[in-house]
Structure 1
Amino acid sequence: MPVTHGVHALVWTGGWSPEEARRAVAASAEAGYDLIEIAPIDPTGYDADLTARLLQEHGLQVSASLGLGADTDVSSEDPDTVARGRERLATALGVLRDSGGTTLCGVLYSKLGKYDAPATERGRANSQEAIAWLADKAAASGITLALEFCNRYETNVLNTTQQTLDFIAAVDRPNVMAHLDTYHMNIEEHSFTEAVRAAAAAGRLGYVHVGESHRGALGTGSIPWAEFFGALDEVGYDGIVTFESFSSEVVHRTLSNDLAIWRNLWTDNHALARDALAFTKAGLAGAAARRGAPG
């Protein structure tokens, strides 16, 4: 089965007003994508019914991603902060469900932002308990959670594939998967191939972000794309591959600052998205061709 090609909503818009939602969904379909990844960081601002209608109109699938803030950090030792985090996660889960999606991904397990100390034992346990609780709620709606490990400057809980697999093993829920992102892997992993193999061998390779080393256009940075696409082909990955890129051209009220998007990496998001889809399809096709070539 071919992969499902997605694009992050922040390529198109920094918000999700009715006008922004229409523009983002229409642009994603026009660029040739199968799916749009919405980012209900503040899920109270999302009209799920409108989103579902727009997706149906344009024949698109949907996933959702978010990162928590300091006041909703489920890896905190403060019970009130954890409770607020659980509420935020449950609300985002409802937005995804009512929009028609089946994968909630991203930094669901901690704050998205730099910490000034390692995660504590109690904080890590709170995070695992929150994800187990969320996974049970998600399972009732047929939804999978995909935990995106991030670089050391964006979380202190999960920075590598193996840490994520160990965390998932502790959570022990069948609908919790690993979310691999090439931008973060390029900082933290010693081998793209081994990371993909490990997640696949554990049966937990559930979601993929393709993002360049500088978060700009694919193929213009230092990501070892041939290795990565080759690894996905080797393990037979047939899930979602979402293009993620950020620029000061499109600004989200909180996420742009959390991700340190200080400069303008692109201005033409339509060309960016079309080129990224072509680059990804060519990379996966090339990997398949190399695998099938006679030795």
Structure 2
Amino acid sequence: MQIGVHGLVFTGTFDEAGLNTAISGTQAAGFDLLELPLMDPSSFDGALVRRMLDDHGVAMSASMGLDADHDLSSSDATVSRSGESLLENAIDVVAEAGGSQLCGVIYSAMQKYMTPVTELGRSHSAEALGRLGARAEAAGVSLALEIVNRYETNVVNTAREGLRFLDLVDHDNVHLHLDTYHMNIEEAGMLEPVLDAGGQLAYVHIGESHRGYLGTGTVDFGAFFRGLTRLGYDGPIVFESFSSAVVSESLSNTLGIWRNLWEDSADLAAHANRFIRDQLRAVATLDLQ
């Protein structure tokens, strides 16, 4: 199991200087893995990223959130195909950088929709993901679909909806990605969705209800980590939090960061690393059989 951190905890830019900040911060805080946001895959030098990660002994994954011009779930086949092309590029970048997973909102645009998803749009997304799953498998990369709240997608908002959508995708290299921040909004509890996801759960985000320091909000982390332990989950567990003290104004607006709950990346990251490992250690002492 790898314990990781999202790159936006440390920086909002991912040129060579930004990458060094994120990778060094990841290593200093004691994490195993860095999740890099591919806001523009064409701007990433995969070979450079790989060398820098290897120099620090840090593993990587990557995430994306599609925009309206690349909405895989669009009823417009041209827009959906544009999203598929972007994700093909992202898969190639992740493989070049030595990563093994691409996750996030890669099945629709990450935005507030004003109407339900159409059946045509859902089909466009599922069919494209089936093709992308095959491409990613050939490149040694697995895909994980992040289940997010109703204000960020209209396709899947719960683990059970995600499982039904995977049936449409019908490719064994496409899995689920659960995030405690979104679960706290949409799910009836924090244990059952983990057990429901079962073997399809391939990636986890740990985030507090207000995106701040872990343990200071309303997320029932005890139940969530009991679920992971009961399931025997062994994939990445990645801390995610955002502050306009780090990310740009435009990205802060996209993410809805209207108030900051932290400013010190190093302290936040070190606290999160300890919190996650302590939670795992605590539930390991319980008899969950």
Matches within 5 A, 1:1-295: 3-200=1-198, 203-252=199-248, 255-291=251-287
One-letter amino acid of the counterpart of residue 224, structure 1: D
| Cα distance in 2, alignment partners of residues 129 and 73 from structure 1 | 13
Aligned residues: 289
5+ long unaligned stretches in structure 1: none
How large is the RMSD of aligned CA atoms in angstroms? 1.3
Letter paired with 1:78: D
User: Which residue identity is paired with 1:259?
Assistant: L
Q: TM-score, normalised by structure 2?
A: 0.97
- Report deviation, 1:256: 2.8
The amino acid of 2:43's aligned partner reads G
Q: 1:16-58: CA deviations, max 9, x gaps?
A: 1111011111110111110000001211111111100011000
Amino acid at match of 1:226: G
Please report how far the alpha carbon of residue 132 of structure 1 lies from its aligned counterpart in structure 2 after TM superposition: 0.7
Unaligned runs of 5+ in 2: none
For residue 139 of structure 2, give the secondary structure of its aligned residue in structure 1: coil
Task: Please give the TM-score of this superposition, normalised by the length of structure 1.
Answer: 0.95
Contact 1:213 1:223 in 2 (8 A): yes
One-letter identity of the residue aligned with 1:248: S
Shift in alpha-carbon separation, 1:181–1:175, aligned structure 2, 3 A:
same
SS in 1 for 2:143: strand
Query: Is the Cα contact below 8 Å between 2:91 and 2:139 reproduced in 1?
Result: no
TM-fit CA distance, 1:193: 1.0
- How big is the shift at 1:252? 4.3
Distance (whole Å) between structure 2 residues aligned to residue 257 and residue 91 of structure 1: 26
Which deviates further from its counterpart, 6-15 or 80-89? 80-89
Work out whether residues 10 and 252 of structure 1, in 8 Å CA contact, stay in contact via their aligned partners in 2: no
Please give the per-residue CA displacement for 1:193-221, whole angstroms capped at 9, x wherever unaligned: 11010111xx2010000000011111110
Moved over 3 A (4+): 252-255
**Whole-Å separation in 2 of the counterparts to 1:253 and 1:104:** 25
Structure 1 residue 291 displacement after superposition:
2.5
List per-residue Cα deviations over 1:91-123 (Å, max 9, x = no partner).
Answer: 111111111001100000000010010000100
For residue 6 of structure 1, what is the amino acid of its counterpart?
A: G
Listed one character per residue, the Cα deviations across residues 261-291 of structure 1 (whole Å, up to 9, x for unaligned) are: 1221200000000000100000111011122
Does the 8 A contact of 2:92 with 2:139 survive in 1? no
Q: Distance in 2 between matches of 1:32 and 1:24?
A: 13
> Quick check: 268-277 or 249-258, which moved more?
249-258
Q: Is the 8 A contact 1:113 1:155 kept in 2?
A: yes
Task: Tell me how far 1:235 sits from its aligned partner.
Answer: 1.0
